Structure 1
């Protein structure tokens, strides 16, 4: 028996997987700013 492949569906599945991986990588690259001193920031902008 011959096997019929759904090429269009395979391309769509690969695209979804690539987008998911790219999104995870993009989100993991963000660095959270912690311990922000508000007074120090205000002093910098006041200069």
Structure 2
């Protein structure tokens, strides 16, 4: 938001759930900490 500029509306096409999930899954990176906890436990 820019205080000196008027508010503008734009129309964006609705995306399907499939498209949204596909994009999220493409961007997943490995979670090293979660992997370590799952394989080695918390305080062993």
Structure 1 length as normaliser, TM-score? 0.31
When Rg is computed on C-alpha atoms for both structures, the one with the higher figure is: 1
Flag the structure with higher helix content. 1
